[in-house]
Amino acid sequence: MNLPDYNFTALTPALILSLWAILILLVDLLFGERIQRWLSWLTVAGLLVTGASALSLWNVRAEGFSGMVVLDNFAIVVTVIAMIAGILAVLLSSDYLVDRDLFRPEYFALMLFSITGILLLASGRNLIMLFLGLELLSIPLYVLTGFARPDVQSEEAAMKYFLLGALASSFLVYGIALTYGATGSTDLLKIRDALQNVQVITSTLTLGGLILILVGFGFKVAAVPFHMWTPDVYQGAPTPITAYMSVGAKAGGFAALLRIMYVAFPQIASYWTGALVLLAIATLVVGNLLAIQQSSLKRLLAYSSIAHAGYILVGLAAGNNRGVAGALFYLLAYAFTNLGAFGIMIALSKKGEEADSIESYAGLSSRQPWLALAMTVFMLSLTGVPLTAGLVGKIFVFSAAAEAGLWTLLIVAVLTSVISAFYYLRLVVLMYMRDPINDFGTQVHLTPGVRTALALAVIGTVLLGIIPGNLIDFTNQTLAITTQTLVALVH
């Protein structure tokens, strides 16, 4: 029996991160409460090491385990996005948990396992690996959503997320089975080869498999009409988990979708771009319109995250290199901005007094000028105002759509961005133009972790927004290289 060349290089980041998660479980077992204070920093260290290991493999392009995983530049960019989301969420978590008597070391281990899932989704080149990656991303998230047990809202959210998530996974598995039936393989490259055959292209099995795979991942990234779970789960989950989920689950889901569509199904791009355009339009319209009516900030950010999934879908639907680069840049910008917005919410909350009502932000600028300023930066970035990361991301995906000639989609996307300004800027107006109804003095929780996270988020949002033209070219080029490794025919 010949053993294949496993080539662990291709698995380095995921391997480090999963071992680090197990290390955290062991450290807790050995040292117990003495080390609790340092656990969040240990977790951050793990994420930094993983990110560094991934970046050190830039341009290496390793393939391992009989083509199950491939570590190309695309996977590395997604890894970096996952690391940023993970680091910010962990920094925001520690004091939040201690304040609410929720602290348990397993929290950080579960979070690292979940991020390992994103890494596998980013580098999996086999449908089986992508399915396992999705489950590794989701199962810890179900548990973390219910982490505020016995809080009823948190329990309900976890149950809802678990049941609907399991349903979505079953769609995905069915899609994988149909695709296997049509093409005889789960390896994305072999699927691509099988699709050279006209009989396979026109088979209902292929089409059914493609649609079901789209449904499975559409649920994870909260695309309309598979978004029903989002507001309730976002509201019920502990806020740091909501923050992580809004970026992490999206990054993983979109990475897998990009790889499947571009590597396995380019032959039938005309089928899936049409489906993605419809999904994107529905997502943009529903997400933005429902966000307007919200009075709870968490729900507002939930609908806003649906809307932003729509903008990323615009990049996917474009089906060109610029679209892939745009989707990745958008995810990066969204990671800083959205985690920052949730960070402000965490800083202003304490046990039993969550700063969830939008009205409660009235007059924040006179009490907490710096927090109000940071929140303004995040809101402007979410809207897509110049000098913020959000605008650069939007320009990226919109120009990709223009390049692909998707004018209807482009018009809808621009119009809904205008609508979104209404609900994002309403919060800014409230913070600066109204008299305070809340005395925030006693409940501000600016611990070192939260401080660091907020500073990083502001710096990231602004830096990605004001990078001068040649730097944009640079990002464009690196992301283009990324895209080429994704799209390029292998070997």
Partner 1 sequence: MESIFFYATAAIALIGAIGMVLSRNAIHSALFLVLNFAATSVLYLMLNAPLLAVLQVTVYAGAIMVLFLFVIMLLNAENVSVDSHLRWQPIAALILGGLLLVETVVTVGRPLPLNPAGVTPETLNQLADPRVLAQFLFTDYLLPFEVTSLLLLVAMVGAVVLTKARPAQKRDQRRVRFADQVEGSEGASAVMSEPQGENRPVA
Q: 3-state SS of the chain?
A: CCCCCCCHHHHHHHHHHHHHHHHHHHHHHHHHHHHHHHHHHHHHHHHHHHHHHHHCCCCCCEEECCCCEEECHHHHHHHHHHHHHHHHHHHHHHHHHHHCCCCCCHHHHHHHHHHHHHHHHHHECEHHHHHHHHHHHHHHHHHHHHHHCCCHHHHHHHHHHHHHHHHHHHHHHHHHHHHHHHHCCCEHHHHHHHCCCHHHHCCHHHHHHHHHHHHHHHHHCCCCCCCCCHHHHHHHCCHHHHHHHHHHHHHHHHHHHHHHHHHHCHHHHHHHHHHHHHHHHHHHHHHHHHHHCCCEHHHHHHHHHHHHHHHHHHHHHHCCHHHHHHHHHHHHHHHHHHHHHHHHHHHCCECCECCCEHHHHCCHHHHCHHHHHHHHHHHHHHHCCCCCHHHHHHHHHHHHHHHCCCHHHHHHHHHHHHHHHHHHHHHHHHHHHCCCCCCHHHCCCCCHHHHHHHHHHHHHHHHHHHCCHHHHHHHHHHHHHHHHHHHCCCC
Cα 155 → chain centroid: 23
Decide whether 101 or 439 has the Cβ nearer to partner 1: 101
Decide whether 41 or 180 has the Cβ nearer to partner 1: 180
Decide whether 186 or 376 has the Cβ nearer to partner 1: 186
Closest distance between partner 1 and the C-beta of residue 194, in Å? 5
Decide whether 116 or 438 has the Cβ nearer to partner 1: 116
Decide whether 142 or 424 has the Cβ nearer to partner 1: 142
Q: Is the peptide bond before 436 cis (omega within 30 degrees of 0)?
A: no
Decide whether 170 or 293 has the Cβ nearer to partner 1: 170
**Contact residues for partner 1, defined by CB under 8 A:** 1-4, 6, 11, 18, 22, 25, 64-66, 68-69, 101-102, 104, 106, 109-110, 113, 116, 120, 126, 128-129, 132-133, 135-136, 139-140, 142-143, 146-147, 149-150, 158, 180-185, 194, 197, 199-200, 203, 205
Decide whether 185 or 484 has the Cβ nearer to partner 1: 185
Closest distance between partner 1 and the C-beta of residue 6, in Å? 7
Decide whether 90 or 314 has the Cβ nearer to partner 1: 90
Closest distance between partner 1 and the C-beta of residue 184, in Å? 3
Closest distance between partner 1 and the C-beta of residue 343, in Å? 24
Closest distance between partner 1 and the C-beta of residue 124, in Å? 9
Q: What's the rounded Cα separation, in Å, for the pair 104 and 111?
A: 12
Decide whether 66 or 477 has the Cβ nearer to partner 1: 66
Closest distance between partner 1 and the C-beta of residue 449, in Å? 21
Decide whether 194 or 347 has the Cβ nearer to partner 1: 194
Closest distance between partner 1 and the C-beta of residue 105, in Å? 10
Closest distance between partner 1 and the C-beta of residue 132, in Å? 5
Decide whether 3 or 439 has the Cβ nearer to partner 1: 3
Closest distance between partner 1 and the C-beta of residue 255, in Å? 16
**Cβ–Cβ under 8 Å, residues 231 and 303:** yes
Q: What's the rounded Cα separation, in Å, for the pair 208 and 203?
A: 9
Closest distance between partner 1 and the C-beta of residue 203, in Å? 6
Q: What's the rounded Cα separation, in Å, for the pair 82 and 242?
A: 15
Closest distance between partner 1 and the C-beta of residue 260, in Å? 16
Closest distance between partner 1 and the C-beta of residue 175, in Å? 16
Closest distance between partner 1 and the C-beta of residue 205, in Å? 6
Residues ≥6 apart with Cβ < 8 Å to 395:
none
Angle between helices 321-347 and 239-259 (to 10 degrees): 170
Cα 427 → chain centroid: 24
Decide whether 184 or 225 has the Cβ nearer to partner 1: 184
Decide whether 145 or 273 has the Cβ nearer to partner 1: 145
Tokens at 217, concatenated: 């991942």
